[in-house]
Amino acid sequence: MESYEKKLKKEARQLTKMLRGRTVGAVWRHRKKEVGIQFTDGTRLFIDQTPDGLDYSITYDNYSPKKDQNKPKNKISSVRKSKK
């Protein structure tokens, strides 16, 4: 079984890979336990504090399989939970 620290490091590497090269266009706070980041290419990263730790999700507006091989077909790439 993978250790908790290894899982967190793996998540961090995956997020880095998905967001590498993007430019931040705006950051907002809709709720006091949520941060949203909009990138100039339409990608959005949402980070929410939950009782179990942090949840995150990444969405894409302009998905093109030929242009963006690492992006998912369903526009939502992942939702992960990280305990505190």
Q: Are strands 24-28 and 34-39 parallel, antiparallel or unpaired?
A: antiparallel
And the tokens for 41? 């290419």
pTM over the 0.85 mark: no
Residue with tokens 């709720």: 31
* Number of domains observed in the structure of the chain: 1
Q: What is the pLDDT of residue 2?
A: 75
Q: What is the tens place of the pLDDT at every residue in 9-67?
A: 999 999 999 999 999 999 999 889 999 999 999 999 999 999 988 899 999 876 554 45
The residue segments making up the domain with residue 75 are: 4-82
